[in-house]
A and B are shown apart, each in its own frame.
Chain A
Amino acid sequence: MIKIENLNKYFGNLHVLKDIDLHVKSGEKLVIIGPSGSGKSTLIRCMNYLEEPSSGTVYVDNQELTRKNKTQMAKSTSAMVFQQFNLYPHMTVLKNLTLAPVKLQKIPADKAKEIAMEYLIRVGLADKAEEYPHTLSGGQQQRVAIARALTTRQKIILFDEPTSALDPEMVQEVLDVMIGLSKENITMVCVTHEMGFARQVADRVIFMDEGKIIETGTPEHFFKNPENERTKIFLSKILH
């Protein structure tokens, strides 16, 4: 579903991604972990061209992702959930969910509303449909953001540290939604430090450090016998 070949990314002189090769299968749940500055966010942002690769190729759904087709591809293949939620503050929750289906996918407004309500029920926020984002808690906003990503019914959902900006007591409500989602045949790529979540849903975990993928394995592998020294040090810091 997503195939990355020889991907390099520079920010000025900073070499953030070094010769990345990665293949995410259709329906796979992939979790990316690693210390801050390891390039994991940059990698996931290359998957929908929010970052432009310096060299190398990204294929999504068997098509090469380019500057020219990035908008079209974003419209038809992937959705993203951000660390900072990034809801549109001047629109109600419902409008946040229906904007893309109505304007981009040309779904009739009442049908789009129906779909949106369906997903709001699913994330447990149907009663907030007419509220504005700023009246919601962080956890609620992120659940709305996930619902927004779902309403366009894409094959791929990218999660870029979806729980890192949340107060601790709100993390679980967001993870629960994501765990529910993982039971479906959607391809999920998730940058996170939540190893408990990884253990529950991930088919595969990759550990990144200094712009490279250093270790790959099942969640169990990372819990029981991580091989790389840096992986061990990192895990000892985030597992309690």
Chain B
Amino acid sequence: MTKLFSIRRWMQLFGDFDQFLAGMRTTLIVALLGLLIALALGILFGVLSSVKIKILPWIARIYVEFFQNTPLVVQVFFYSFGLPFIGVRIPDLMVGILGVGLYHGAYIAEVVRSGIEAVPKGQVEAAESQGFGHIQVMGYIVLPQTLKITLPPLTNQAMNLVKNTSVLAMIAGMDIMYYAKSWAGNNGFFYQGYLSAGLLYFILCFPLTKLTAWLEQKAKQVPSQKKINNGMEADV
């Protein structure tokens, strides 16, 4: 316990804190760009899952199953150490962005798919009976409602994505965890190093957790479609 509370060690940490901040900067860049890729892929494959042309949901299925059922570490190692064998070299930062982007894209695709399926079939039929084509039905009727339903699980995915960027440390990706590991190793100050890393991730993730909870609360306040479907008078 004396090691944990050693003032000398903590002073050393504060002295070297710029390293941790540099790591935080990398983590933030990877998380933000990774999230953009994940959202783009997730929406694309989520929509493809619900298309009637059989081959497209199939392609989406393969993507989702492949990336959900292999560990992120294995995927990232493959980009970093596997691809150079076939002549593809990706900078470490890009490996991180692509890694979490592709991985969480698969999860977001599932969130989007279930959000689309949660919109009652009758509304799609109503729109079709008015003469709207598939893309218009998606754009005007289904997706605007999907967005509301999927916001809480999407924020949750964003938080997991932030935490998963720590996989970068294993390929020397200059992120929070990488600097924590190297600083702790060099000085032998493991308590100080990893506690600080944990705190930095917490600072990034806690607001997202709170946002998820808030969005869930808000989603509950919207009267459910079920009431309408029963033909009962719906409460406001």
Contacts and interface: CB of A to CB of B under 8 A. Distances in A.
A74 B130 contact: yes
B82 to A, nearest CB: 45
B231 interface: yes
Contacts of A66: none
A165 B226 CA distance: 13
Interface string B113-127: 000000010110111
B84 interface: no
Interface in A130-172: 133-138, 141, 145, 148, 152, 158, 165-167
Contacts, number: 90
Provide the main secondary structure of the chain A interface.
mixed
Contacts of A82: 122, 125-126
A141 B132 CA distance: 21
A166 B130 CA distance: 23
B90 to A, nearest CB: 41
Nearest to A135: B236
Interface string A87-102: 1111000000001100
Of the listed residues A70, A79, A88, A145, the one surrounded by the most CB atoms of chain B closer than 10 A to its CB is A88
B139 to A, nearest CB: 10
Contacts of A188: none
B145 A89 contact: yes
A136 B233 CA distance: 7
A8 interface: no
Interface size class of A (residues with CB under 8 A): 35 or more
B225 interface: yes
B87 interface: no
B130 to A, nearest CB: 4
Given A71-B132, A74-B130, A133 B228 contact: yes
B65 interface: no
Given A50-B125, A88-B141, A100 B132 contact: yes
Interface string A54-94: 00000000000000001111111011101011111110000
21 contacts: A50-B125, A72-B131, A73-B131, A74-B129, A74-B131, A79-B129, A86-B122, A87-B228, A88-B123, A88-B126, A89-B123, A89-B145, A99-B130, A103-B136, A104-B132, A137-B233, A138-B232, A148-B130, A152-B130, A152-B131, A167-B232
Nearest 10 Cβ contacts at the A-B interface: A75-B131, A165-B231, A86-B126, A74-B131, A80-B129, A86-B122, A138-B231, A100-B130, A134-B223, A134-B234
